Amino acid sequence: MINYDEVIAFLEKENMDTDVVARFKQAYQTFCETGKWQPAYEVRVAGWQQLDGVMLLEPERMLENDYQVHIIATNERSLRELLLAFPRRQIGLFHLTEKWIEGRIPDVIDGDSVRTNAGSFYRGVKRGSRTKAEQRTILKRKDAIVSYSRKLTSLKGKIEHSQFIAEGSLVVERAVADGFPIESLLYTPEFVATIDGKAFLKRAVEENLSVYQVSTGIMGSITTTRPVPAIIASIHLSYPNFLSASGHLNFHFGSRCLLLIAEDIGNPDNLGMTLRTADAAGVSAVLLSETAAHPFHKNCIRASRGAVGRLPLFQTPSITEAIAALRSSGWCVLGATASAENDIFTAEISHPIAIVVGNENTGLSAEARESCTALVRIPMASGQSSLNVAVAAGVLLYAFVQRTEFDKPPKM
């Protein structure tokens, strides 16, 4: 349930255009009096423990647009959540209020920047839900869709096209439900033979996604996974550098952000579980080292349970340079190591916070330890000296989530 008074207060606090807010306040007043939105606004919000972003969808029937879209987001995650919530098939005229937002919109929305007398806009539709989608049966392994999907199973193809393949009904159905920018769906006769499979494909077609039926043999020629998955999806996802060419942060954040930094996690299953944990803890983003397992690895995607696609992910060739840039921007960067004197419950913290976890076997590198603001440990009973990296990340993140809650000023 959306608290519209809270939404209005957030928009005013974050300095959304006063005319936009005034129109929305008038529409909300009419809604309170009549029970109907006039005009028929749609509102999306982002944030877990606090409101971090709002998207107003204002009906727009000029220039063949469905909505004028007004977005206020305080961090990378809230913006991505809002963009994923934009309805498929609909054409949006996005008001470009901040440069960083302008740079992120194309990750989810396929379109072009336009200039009018009223200002600069980005006009587009969610990726994969173009005006005319395809629904057909593919009979040959040399079909263009099959060949393209096969490219996306290699790391080179994934990086080149900024797409990854999600396999299996659980992950694919969640990707559709979460609004991921899906380029295509391929399924076998076994998938559509079930009631649930038929219902899912009907929803996919209604959302104007391109769906293709292939034989189990053709599906097996695309992916090396065995048993052969009954459905796969190609999903668009950018994986930008954390630092700009000049060494500055290519990362937008607010004062209460929580960032997870993973240094050289080598096992893709461990990485996927770590990302799933970070997603559940509400982190603003995850920073990964280039020398670690790649988040587009199929095992990582499967283990992440939707975190790959939902979470903003960044990369860096140098964790120490990224930490230095964060510290110079006012971040408290805490490295997790069993040898630290202070534990996670007593260490001094300030906001925003970045937590650094290391390789499964060797932990944090000496360079990373030296770069952090401070080092912390997870207190443990005798018998164990370390935890699985995903478990450790979960303990650390939730400890600081809890401490952040206690640090919040009381509501007036």
Per-position b or e across 344-357, b if 16+ CB within 10 A of its CB: beebebeebbbbbb
Q: Confirm whether 306 is domain-assigned.
A: yes
Count of domains forming the chain:
3
CA dist 1 to 37, 44, 45, 54, 351, Å?
Answer: 16, 11, 10, 14, 29
User: In whole angstroms, what is the distance from residue 38 CA to residue 92 CA?
Assistant: 19
For the chain, the straight-line distance linking the first and the last C-alpha, in angstroms and rounded, comes to 21
Q: Which two tokens stand for residue 218?
A: 């053709």
Tens-digit pLDDT profile for residues 263-285: 999 999 999 999 999 999 999 99
Asked whether residue 244 is assigned to any structural domain, the reply reads no
Closest CA to 137 of 188, 190, 99, 183: 188
Beta bridge partners of 336: 376
Phi, psi of 79 (to 5 degrees): -65, -45
Whether 274 and 151 map to the same domain: the answer is no
Q: Encoding tokens for residue 71? A: 């977005």
- Let me know the angle formed at the C-alpha of 139 by 136 and 143, rounded to the nearest 5 degrees: 85
pLDDT score recorded for residue 131? 67
Based on the fold, state whether residues 93 and 154 are members of the same structural domain.
Answer: no
* Pair (83, 151) in one structural domain: no
Q: How many CB atoms lie within 10 A of CB 88?
A: 20
Q: Report d(CA 146, CA 171) in Å as an integer.
A: 20
Residue 352 lies in a domain: yes
Range of the domain at 397: 258-407
pLDDT in tens, 302-356: 999 999 999 999 999 999 999 999 999 999 999 999 889 999 988 888 999 999 9
Q: Is the pLDDT of residue 412 over 60?
A: no
Q: Other CB atoms closer than 10 Å to residue 284's CB: what's the count?
A: 25
Same-domain check for residues 205 and 114: no
Q: Answer whether 295's CB lies under 8 Å from 312's CB.
A: no
Mean pLDDT over all residues of the chain?
93
Is the predicted pLDDT of residue 123 greater than 50, yes or no?
yes
Domain CATH for 354: 3.40.1280.10
325 and 391, same structural domain?
Answer: yes
Kindly state the average pLDDT of the residues 358-381.
93
Q: How far apart are CA 322 and CA 314, in angstroms?
A: 11
Percent of the chain with pLDDT over 90: 84
pLDDT value at 62 more than 90 = no
115 and 144 housed in the same domain: no
Strands, DSSP E only, in 276-370? 285-289, 313-316, 332-336, 342-343, 353-357
- Same domain flag for 87 and 116: yes
